[in-house]
Chain A
Amino acid sequence: MTYKISVDTGGTFTDVIVSDASGAMTIGKALTTHARIFEGVHSAIDAAASELGVAVADLLAQTSLFIYGTTRSTNAIVTKTVARTAFVSTEGFPDILLLKEGGKFNPHDFTQDYPAPFIARRHTFELPGRISAEGEEVAAFDDAAARALAADIVARGFEAVAVCLLWSVANPAHELRFGEILAEIAPDIPFTLSHQLIPVVREYRRASATAIDASLKPLMQQHLRELEEDLRAAGLTGEILVSTAAGGCSHIDALISRPIYTIGSGPAMAPIAGRAFARMEDLGDNVIICDTGGTTFDVGLVRDGRITFSRDTWLGPAYTGDLLGISAVDMRSIGAGGGSIAWIDEGGLMRVGPQSAGSEPGPACYGRGGTLPTVSDAAVVLGYFDPEYFLGGRMKLDVVAARTAVASVAGAVGLSIEETAFRIMSLASDLMVRAIADVTISEGLNPRESTIVAGGGAAGVNIMTIAAELGCERVILPKVASALSASGMQHADIVAEETASLVMQTDRLDIGEVNRVLGALREKLERFAASLSQRDMTDAQIEYIAEARYLGQVWELDTPLRQVPLPLEGGVGLLAETFHQVHERVFAVRDEGSAVEIVNWKARLTVPLAKPIDVAPKAADITLPPPALSRQCFFGGTEPVTTGIYKPADLAPGRTIVGPAIIEEPTTTLVVYPGTSVMVSGAGNFLLKVR
């Protein structure tokens, strides 16, 4: 049992990373096969296996751990192929999913319809009974009405049920009772009870999460079971885990019961990769992770070695999409990438995006009929891609089409095609700089004191420009940058999280009650841990977090509890002080005169899977002969610059490459701009120096 395989099935590509006993990683890539996901997975493993010189069957037989990440659930939501789901709400309140929490972007834009709710109003059912904020029953549960409702759900052919009643977090009796009735009358229909999935105050977030979760249950159960069968049939005997939005992985049964955690579970692994590479290269605990795809640019953070989480992750646009509501790894996405289209607006201003050529027809240079100039076309015009060797030679690029496309913009601004292409590239970089700035601002992180870890096949094209603009001097482009999420899974631990809603204020905090709630969270996690029967639990740990704010504020900050149970003496003061520190970090002010209000209490179990990361040995400087190849590339000027092209054979740990240069690896391209340089580290990663 020597190998560990991680798989990230994206919308287009399936990335595989195979690591051997020494930790050395090999990439395999294949097209994702949506009809039967295993086929693409198998092809990608096959690609890695042939690189390693072993047969797939042997590789699988010798694999001790297989970690799977998927966009299956996200795709099902985007393509509206989730289960036919009933939404059960408190009588009198059917429009929770419709009205959401309000908010919009452009106040003068009246061109768009208001979005339909995640579950249609006609699939919404109102259940008599009412619990108050204090947990009292102010209207009784109506058994007969509930039974009739459940029977109606069966009769109308619903495949899943989402139950979210007002104040179920204060008293779950009505949700539980309705769950019993459902189990009795509709034993084959899976359901989700809101207080069990996401016990937080604010009915929309709870309802949205519950609706999404329930709607995925039939589908993800089938998907994960099917994959498991396929893997076993192919000879895998090792353990199978699935990556989750909570920033770790868990077993298939856990994800079948809470499939919402598979949403965004691939991207959630990128910060884990970022943290691992920063440790490996001894570049600190504050990391900005950038993952560049064809149509999106994702940004995440690691702060003081901790992944950052958010309850404000939207599927689709903020305010008008659907809120995930669960505490998920905070990876924020903007629509910018190789496919983003450059254009000139009516006032003569140069713009890039938000329109994208997507993957069909794709950039003009793909030669699939696209004619609009994209960022990828700009890169082709600038000479950054070898038209004969794109994606490791799997695709030929149409230079003429790229130039023709960019010429349309060049004509409008009165510059050469190459100057225009450089500006398109720079504008795209600027959008990415702004996306990073937005994320770092909201966490109070200074990019100048952080390390950037860049991922995605196209990251290397402009990551150095982005880093220079942010004043960020430490940049890592991992050798496996093109499969960043899959590489993150290699470093992921088993993670489980439980939340309880209990509103408390530090000026009248009931320590006994808080400790009782924290104890209940611990018990739940311990029950989960007991299900990991054969695993070594010696290094398992539970962290506790309060979601807190100053009294009167509405936005909570994750505040770690340093001592649990809270000590009777000084426990409240310690909690308040920790919150002041967190608030000061994020907003640069502390208000010691104000009480702190805690809304939710979280406990997070981590069972280490991966070996701790050792700092890789430094490579001694070496000098190698200049590369054999060169190309004419443009870096903003009107005249081309002769640029060395470095192939894998030209690279060795300790080699420094001074720009202008282009490094062409099979799955990634790195542009080393004039005035910058790159060193190959002892671990084989690229360490970038922007000045």
Chain B
Amino acid sequence: MTDFDPYMTAIIANRIDGIVREMTHTLLRAARSAVINSARDFSCSICTADNHLLAAAEGLPIHIFGSHLQTRAMTEYHAGDIREGDCYLHNDPYTGNTHPADHTFLVPVFFEGEHLFTTVAKAHQADIGNSKPTTYMADAVDIYEEGALIFPAVRVQRDFKTDEDVLRMCKSRIRVPSQWHGDFLAGIGSARIGERRLKELCEKYGKDTIKTFIGAWFDYSERRMMQAIRKLPAAVLTHSGAHDPFGDLLPNGIPLNVTTRIDPEAARVTLDLTDNIDNVDCGFNESEATATSASVAGVFNSIDPTVPRNSGSFRRIEVILRDGSVAGRPRFPHSCSVATTNVADRLINIVQSSFAQIGDGFGLAEGGVGMGAGFAVVSGKDARTDGAPYVNQMIITSAGGPGSPSADGWPTYALPVIAALMYRDSIEIDELKHPILFRSLRMQTGTAGAGRFRGAPAIEVAYGPRYDPMEVHWPCDGTHFPARGVRGGKDGICARHFLVTTSGEREELPNIVARKLMPGDYVEGNHASGAGYGHPFERDPVRVLRDVLEGYEDETRAREVYGVAFTGSLVAEDLAVDGEATARLRAT
């Protein structure tokens, strides 16, 4: 290939994509912990030997940027001593990882003696040896208190053989070591599958063609991004938001600011995150990877969704971070334990909603945030199995997705950093695995952030222990600051949670929860709903009718919030839009 070959580039890109999908499939199916195999909290990618991200398939938005920072750490620390058969473990948030819970396996791929690629398999572990049994240490003052084992690109295999020392270290420190070991095998297996397939690919097409492809693919991706940016007007979008307050430490929460500069002529977007406070003494600090991924995800959410995500398209996005900032590059030893969700969720919301300032049809409303009761880590002893201990994070409800210029929010959105990619647990599986009984799980009528396209309604859930006390932990955001609507769209509702005791007392819980439930007690509450896009009076009355018929909205809200009147009745199943009355309502 000399110039860009539109055919060969397509063929090889298909193959590379197929390889990442095979890596993904391997990790998903072979992994042991629910956080990987149920919640899909992992991603696979391929980087070039010179540390550019070449391909990532169906990974979580919060994982899109950063694996090339991790391979760079590998090539720097081990310069001159990287060879075929090596595998490196990286989870260091200061040198490119998202947060310590994401163990990342890096396998350098050699062909004809040359290091051409590095395959990357990143997966959230069920446990990483933190000081408490959770991978989200919201209250950790620093990385020491957090307590995780940190691996800054540590070699765990040489000549395809695992370093048993490292294995023993991990097994003597990580809770439920057999589960961790199963995920370790799955992660390495995934990276090795990628290695094997890439070598076959090089064998088939030859090294020169593959190298030409890499250049062509980055150029193509850059072109796609340039075209996407050129469809936007020139603008400087300054936008703010905030993470909820956290006890006495952060009584006003964490204020966040992002300035987005769009320069269509130069086909460039700049995301400036420097105007943010210094690192905080708890686990909410962003890592370089998550601050970048989150803000870049906000851009990808606002442009043609088919633009490839790789170092080629990233050439057109500049992210300016400040050292030692809560939404920048973290200063050691500040903790990044919760870097992948809370502040990151807010950053995505800030960027995607700032695009709505451009004009109608641009950007998104804010999505619901917060890992509440439906994402709780539950633990205790299971009387059904002679008191065997259990600990697991449930993924059973969801915060509501944001309204967009052309569609309503999704009820399976989960969080901005997840964007509906995760699987949900089943009630029956959760009740089978834990001694727990759910009382209800349902959409809540009239809770969606209204809009021309509305957010997804909130979902309420209630559950409690069956036989013995049970601990519940969750680090919820979104109980103070809701998802905000754009272009006249309404805000979503906040998350709220209550503890109901056997005596019938109902106590409202704070956002960061660590409680013990006694038998007969239960928690009930809702995650946040999504916000709306555009004024509710602009909503197609047929959509409002359908919402009322389906119980997402009620007739009062239809009239008062959406300005839609009906004839007939819900009970008689002859409800219909009253066009004239609606026009009158909307004229006022």
Q: Residues of A with Cβ closer than 8 Å to B?
A: 92-95, 98-114, 116, 120-122, 132-134, 138, 156, 166-167, 201-204, 344-351, 413, 423, 426-427, 430-431, 434, 437-438, 441-442, 503, 550, 552-555, 586-589, 591, 593-594
Q: B440 touching A591 by the CB < 8 A rule?
A: no
Known: A103-B412, A202-B429, A347-B221. 12 other contacts (CB 8 A): A102-B422, A104-B412, A107-B58, A108-B301, A113-B408, A114-B411, A204-B426, A349-B13, A426-B7, A554-B38, A555-B29, A587-B189
**Is B588 positioned at the interface, with any CB of A under 8 Å from its CB?**
no
Find the B residue at minimum CB distance from A201. B428
**Is B419 positioned at the interface, with any CB of A under 8 Å from its CB?**
yes
Q: B420 touching A437 by the CB < 8 A rule?
A: no
Give the distance in Å from the alpha carbon of A497 to the alpha carbon of B337 in the complex: 49
Which B residues are CB-close (under 8 A) to A593?
178
Give the distance in Å from the alpha carbon of A594 to the alpha carbon of B181 in the complex: 11
**How distant is A675 from chain B, measured CB to nearest CB, in Å?**
17
Residue count of chain B within 8 Å CB distance of chain A: 86
Q: A201 touching B432 by the CB < 8 A rule?
A: yes
**Is B573 positioned at the interface, with any CB of A under 8 Å from its CB?**
yes
Q: A202 touching B426 by the CB < 8 A rule?
A: yes
Whether A101 contacts B426 in the complex (CB less than 8 A), given A93-B442, A107-B420, comes out as yes
**How distant is B222 from chain A, measured CB to nearest CB, in Å?**
9
**How distant is A117 from chain B, measured CB to nearest CB, in Å?**
9
Q: A348 touching B6 by the CB < 8 A rule?
A: yes
**How distant is B364 from chain A, measured CB to nearest CB, in Å?**
6
Which A residues are CB-close (under 8 A) to B401?
110, 114
**Is B37 positioned at the interface, with any CB of A under 8 Å from its CB?**
yes
Find the B residue at minimum CB distance from A92. B440
Which A residues are CB-close (under 8 A) to B398?
99, 102
Q: A430 touching B11 by the CB < 8 A rule?
A: yes
Q: A554 touching B420 by the CB < 8 A rule?
A: no
Q: B424 touching A99 by the CB < 8 A rule?
A: yes
A114, A203, A555, A589: which contacts B37 (Cβ < 8 A)? A555
Would you give 24 A-B contacts (Cβ < 8 Å), ordered by A? A92-B439, A92-B440, A95-B442, A99-B412, A99-B424, A99-B459, A104-B412, A107-B419, A107-B420, A107-B421, A111-B404, A121-B550, A122-B551, A132-B466, A134-B384, A201-B428, A202-B426, A202-B429, A203-B428, A345-B224, A346-B223, A347-B227, A348-B4, A553-B32
**How distant is B511 from chain A, measured CB to nearest CB, in Å?**
24
**How distant is A16 from chain B, measured CB to nearest CB, in Å?**
38
Q: A347 touching B300 by the CB < 8 A rule?
A: no
Q: B29 touching A587 by the CB < 8 A rule?
A: yes
Q: A103 touching B428 by the CB < 8 A rule?
A: no
Q: B305 touching A111 by the CB < 8 A rule?
A: yes
Find the B residue at minimum CB distance from A508. B385
**Is B437 positioned at the interface, with any CB of A under 8 Å from its CB?**
yes
- Grouping DSSP codes into helix (H, G, I), strand (E, B) and loop, the A interface class, with mixed when no group exceeds half, is loop
Which B residues are CB-close (under 8 A) to A110?
301, 305, 364, 401-402, 404, 406-407
Give the distance in Å from the alpha carbon of A423 to the alpha carbon of B437 in the complex: 58
Interface residue ranges of B360-418 to A (CB < 8 Å): 364, 384, 395, 398, 401-402, 404, 406-412, 414, 418
B25, B179, B432, B438: which contacts A552 (Cβ < 8 A)? B179
Q: B408 touching A348 by the CB < 8 A rule?
A: no
**Is B236 positioned at the interface, with any CB of A under 8 Å from its CB?**
no
Give the distance in Å from the alpha carbon of A555 to the alpha carbon of B11 in the complex: 31
Give the distance in Å from the alpha carbon of A587 to the alpha carbon of B421 in the complex: 23
Find the A residue at minimum CB distance from B406. A111
Q: Mark B1-23, 1 if CB is under 8 A from A, else 0.
A: 00010110111011100100110
Find the A residue at minimum CB distance from B12. A430
Which B residues are CB-close (under 8 A) to A94?
442
Q: A114 touching B408 by the CB < 8 A rule?
A: yes
**How distant is B365 from chain A, measured CB to nearest CB, in Å?**
10
Which B residues are CB-close (under 8 A) to A350?
6-7, 10
**Is B151 positioned at the interface, with any CB of A under 8 Å from its CB?**
no
Find the A residue at minimum CB distance from B352. A110
**How distant is B436 from chain A, measured CB to nearest CB, in Å?**
9
**How distant is B263 from chain A, measured CB to nearest CB, in Å?**
19
What 10 pairs between A and B have smallest CB-CB spacing? A92-B440, A102-B424, A109-B305, A110-B404, A107-B419, A104-B420, A552-B32, A133-B431, A202-B426, A108-B300
Q: A102 touching B414 by the CB < 8 A rule?
A: yes
**How distant is A340 from chain B, measured CB to nearest CB, in Å?**
14
B182, B221, B407: which contacts A111 (Cβ < 8 A)? B407
**How distant is B195 from chain A, measured CB to nearest CB, in Å?**
13
**Is B321 positioned at the interface, with any CB of A under 8 Å from its CB?**
no
**Is B162 positioned at the interface, with any CB of A under 8 Å from its CB?**
no
Which A residues are CB-close (under 8 A) to B550?
116, 120-122
Find the B residue at minimum CB distance from A441. B22
**How distant is B317 from chain A, measured CB to nearest CB, in Å?**
13
Q: A202 touching B428 by the CB < 8 A rule?
A: yes
Q: A550 touching B32 by the CB < 8 A rule?
A: yes
Q: A427 touching B7 by the CB < 8 A rule?
A: yes
Q: B305 touching A106 by the CB < 8 A rule?
A: yes
Find the A residue at minimum CB distance from B37. A554
Whether A114 contacts B10 in the complex (CB less than 8 A), given A100-B424, A348-B223, A593-B178, comes out as no
B9, B33, B421, B432: which contacts A104 (Cβ < 8 A)? B421
Which B residues are CB-close (under 8 A) to A108?
61, 297, 300-301, 305, 419
**How distant is A449 from chain B, measured CB to nearest CB, in Å?**
16
Find the A residue at minimum CB distance from B313. A347
Which B residues are CB-close (under 8 A) to A100?
412, 424
Find the A residue at minimum CB distance from B417. A107
Whether A552 contacts B182 in the complex (CB less than 8 A), given A92-B442, A346-B227, comes out as yes
Which B residues are CB-close (under 8 A) to A134?
384
Give the distance in Å from the alpha carbon of A111 to the alpha carbon of B441 in the complex: 27
Q: A413 touching B7 by the CB < 8 A rule?
A: yes
Q: Mark B53-74, 1 if CB is under 8 A from A, else 0.
A: 0000010110000000000000
Give the distance in Å from the alpha carbon of A346 to the alpha carbon of B225 in the complex: 10
**Is B513 positioned at the interface, with any CB of A under 8 Å from its CB?**
no
Q: B10 touching A351 by the CB < 8 A rule?
A: yes
Find the A residue at minimum CB distance from B392. A552
Which B residues are CB-close (under 8 A) to A203?
426-428
Q: B60 touching A107 by the CB < 8 A rule?
A: yes
Q: A103 touching B420 by the CB < 8 A rule?
A: yes
**Is B40 positioned at the interface, with any CB of A under 8 Å from its CB?**
yes
**How distant is B524 from chain A, measured CB to nearest CB, in Å?**
11
Which B residues are CB-close (under 8 A) to A441?
22, 25
Which B residues are CB-close (under 8 A) to A587?
26, 29-30, 189
Which A residues are CB-close (under 8 A) to B21?
438
**Is B249 positioned at the interface, with any CB of A under 8 Å from its CB?**
no
Find the A residue at minimum CB distance from B58. A105
**How distant is B166 from chain A, measured CB to nearest CB, in Å?**
19
**Is B423 positioned at the interface, with any CB of A under 8 Å from its CB?**
yes
**Is B111 positioned at the interface, with any CB of A under 8 Å from its CB?**
no
**How distant is A169 from chain B, measured CB to nearest CB, in Å?**
8
Q: B40, B61, B227, B305 — which one has the most chain A CB atoms within 10 A of its CB?
A: B305
Give the distance in Å from the alpha carbon of A618 to the alpha carbon of B4 in the complex: 49
**Is B167 positioned at the interface, with any CB of A under 8 Å from its CB?**
no
Q: A589 touching B411 by the CB < 8 A rule?
A: no
**How distant is A244 from chain B, measured CB to nearest CB, in Å?**
27
**Is B220 positioned at the interface, with any CB of A under 8 Å from its CB?**
yes
Which A residues are CB-close (under 8 A) to B22?
437, 441
Give the distance in Å from the alpha carbon of A234 to the alpha carbon of B345 in the complex: 67
Find the B residue at minimum CB distance from A424. B7
Give the distance in Å from the alpha carbon of A492 to the alpha carbon of B404 in the complex: 50
**How distant is A472 from chain B, measured CB to nearest CB, in Å?**
15
Which B residues are CB-close (under 8 A) to A98?
411, 443
Q: A93 touching B58 by the CB < 8 A rule?
A: no
Q: B189 touching A114 by the CB < 8 A rule?
A: no
**Is B549 positioned at the interface, with any CB of A under 8 Å from its CB?**
yes
